Chains A and B, each alone.
Chain A
Amino acid sequence: MKKKSFARLIAIVSVFAALLLVLTGCGNSSKKSSSSSSNNPSSVKQIKKNGTIRIAVFGDLPPYGWVNQDGKRVGYDVTLAHQVAKDLGVKVKFVQVNANNRVDALNSNKVDLVLANFTVTPERKQVIDFAKPYMKVSVGVVSPKTKPITSASQLKGKNVIVTKGTTAETYFTTKQPNTKLLKFDSKTQQFNALKNGRGVALADDNSYLYAWSKDNPKYTVGIKSIGPKSYISPAVKKGNKSLLNWTNKEINKLTKQGFFVKDYNQQLKPYFGKEVKPSDIVLPTK
């Protein structure tokens, strides 16, 4: 009896496996046809025809994309989204996403554009298209105001606090091997360690540190940017040339107009405090 039901189980599993294969097989063949420009549901022309652009934003990441107490979506990314919709002459419809379904939302045509603090990486570039960046971030180092660390050479042989899995950890392990790293699992733990004096400084994403040091005025972001810079860009579905070109022009235009500096002053400045200048985050006009 047992043997029989086991055989049946195997049969069932293999049927599912076959079904899945068929589904994914269809996917590969239909992918090419669907991304051709003729029936692109996210082209500029189609968006204008629909009268709405669907933009993916975060709903829980202040000050970039979040919801205030009146139930309104606000933030640095959201302001940009409103401007994009205004310049296209259409209404905006927000779709809230998490960090890990931003790519899927684009690829399954749930949204036309992603404006969700989306860092450009080589891996992501293979599956979606990034427009020109509108923000830059990099690793920063925060230290007590009484003993500020202002250059990487001061860290030699000293304890530096990081969180596991962050870009800060990768950077210090590979590029600054003569610092000692104290690694923690969470943000709360790493900041407690710094307050308890277990290291001379703490390294993390600089924008995050700006916000933290504003709430903890005894500390200062002595090194604002160290290591390679990362860029934050709007993203569109792979092959959506029409919207990509339009977005590139839009970012250029808005950068020239000083839109992002204004956006910075409105949305980010209250979080980051006076120490940070717009030029630390916003890209310069070329």
Chain B
Amino acid sequence: MDHSGISVLFEGTNFTRLLGGLWVTVKIAGIALILGLILGIVLGVLRTFRNRLLRLILRLYLEFFRIVPTVVLLFLFYYILPKQLNFNLPADQIATLVFALWVGAEMSDIVRGALISVPKHQRESGLAIGLNRHQLYRYVLIPQAITLEIPATINLATRVIKTTSLLMLISVMDVINIGQQIIEANNHTHPTGVFWVYGLIFLFYFLIDYPLSWWAKRLEKRRLERTNG
């Protein structure tokens, strides 16, 4: 069994390198999610305002990030924009930026949807007791919208974490990229190593994403229980 593929994982520093790659993945996804959520909430609130020009601009922003595939966005920000605009950031910062903007766009739609689905009488009662717009959002709409938007937000987070696998295309040393290095380096001696390396990466992603999706499901169930008494 000395040539069994699983030994590839534990030779030299291979395992710690994979963990290091996973940390890069988690860090980029984490920072992008935090920044994107803040941006998304602000934009989502703005999108419920009446100003048509503002709404058009934000709509364009959303559609741009929703329609253009993430791979294309990454290439655009990493290779094409620096050439035109002369700004140059390291690959992992570009990745964080692109993902944050993407999360912001998707999140703005989730927040907008949640805000307008707060029952109309809540908004009208708030206005009736003399709240101004800021107070109305702060004390009435946003607290009720949050419970509505949490499951969708968690789903978005799992999607973002999965999509970080594209980062290898712009030379970010994420877990997939390091996995491929290990596979190719051992291809001659351990032809079955590919199965074990991808298997481990699958397990990594599963361990991060599954608790999130479980949590989303539980929150959704609790919310339904509450609203239906």
A associates with B = yes
Q: Which residues of A contact B (CB under 8 A)?
A: 12, 15-16, 23, 26-27, 30-31, 34, 59-62, 66-71, 95-98, 101, 104-105, 107-110, 211, 215, 271
Neighbour of B79 across the interface among A15, A26, A34, A104, CB < 8 A = A104
Instruction: Name A108's contact: one of B14, B83, B173, B181 (CB within 8 Å).
Output: B83
The answer on a CB contact under 8 Å between B88 and A109 is yes
Q: Which residues of A contact B170 (CB under 8 A)?
A: 101
Residues of B contacting A67 with CB < 8 Å? Answer: 178, 181-182, 185
Contact A109 B180 (CB under 8 A): no
Q: Given that A16-B64, A101-B79, A108-B78 are contacting pairs, would A60 and B12 also be in contact in the complex, using a CB cutoff of 8 Å? A: no
Residue of A at shortest CB range from B172?
A96
Known: A12-B60, A26-B84, A69-B185. A60 touches B79 (CB 8 A): no
Whether A98 lies near B79 (C-beta < 8 A) is: no
Going nearest first, the 10 A-B pairs with the smallest beta carbon separation are A69-B12, A60-B184, A104-B79, A67-B181, A108-B79, A27-B84, A69-B11, A108-B83, A71-B13, A59-B181
A98 to B184, CA, bound (A): 13
Q: B residues engaging A (CB < 8 A)?
A: 11-14, 17, 59-60, 63-64, 75, 78-80, 82-84, 86, 88, 91, 169-171, 173, 177-178, 180-188
B180 interface neighbour in A30, A34, A60, A108, Cβ under 8 Å: A60
Known contacts: A69-B13, A69-B14, A104-B79. The answer to whether A62 contacts B184 by CB under 8 A is yes
What distance in Å separates the Cβ of A270 from its nearest Cβ neighbour in chain B?
10
Given A16-B64, A60-B180, A70-B13, A109-B185 contact (CB < 8 Å): no
Contacts of B63 in A (CB 8 A): 12
For A30, list chain B residues within 8 Å (CB). Answer: 84, 86
User: Between A and B, how many residue pairs show CB distances below 8 Å?
Assistant: 84
What separation, in Å, do the CA atoms of A209 and B100 have in the docked complex? 46
Question: Once the chains bind, are B171 and A68 in contact (CB under 8 Å)?
Answer: no
User: Can you list 14 A-B contacts (CB < 8 A)?
Assistant: A12-B59, A27-B80, A27-B84, A59-B177, A61-B184, A62-B185, A68-B12, A69-B14, A69-B185, A107-B83, A108-B78, A108-B82, A108-B83, A109-B82
Please give the distance in Å from B211's CB to the nearest CB on chain A.
Answer: 29
Q: Are A15 and B60 in contact (CB under 8 A)?
A: yes
How far apart sit A215 and B187, CA to CA, in the bound complex (Å)?
12
Q: Quote the shortest CB–CB distance from B110 to chain A (angstroms).
A: 20
Cβ of B75: which chain A residues have Cβ within 8 Å of it? 104
CB distance from A95 to the nearest CB of B (A): 5
Bound together, the chains give a CA A16 to CA B64 distance in angstroms of: 8
Instruction: Pick from B14, B79, B184: contact of A66, CB below 8 A.
Output: B184
Interchain CB contact under 8 A, B181 and A66: yes
**A-chain residues with CB within 8 Å of residue B84 when the two chains form the complex:** 23, 26-27, 30
Q: Which residues of A contact B91 (CB under 8 A)?
A: 110
Measured between C-beta atoms, what is the minimum distance from A129 to chain B in Å? 17
In the complex, the answer to whether B185 meets A215 with C-beta atoms within 8 Å is: no
Q: Are B171 and A110 in touch, CB under 8 angstroms?
A: yes
In the bound assembly, the distance between CA atoms of A34 and B85 in angstroms comes to: 10
In angstroms, Cα B81 to Cα A104, docked, is 12
The smallest C-beta distance from B127 to any residue of chain A, in angstroms, reads 30
Contacts of A108 in B (CB 8 A): 78-80, 82-83
Contact, CB under 8 Å: B181 / A109: no
The complex places the Cα of A31 from the Cα of B86 at a distance, in Å, of 10
**Which of A23, A71, A98, A271 is most buried by chain B, counting CB atoms within 10 A of its CB?**
A71
With contact pairs A15-B60, A96-B177 given, residues A66 and B82 touching in the complex (Cβ less than 8 Å): no
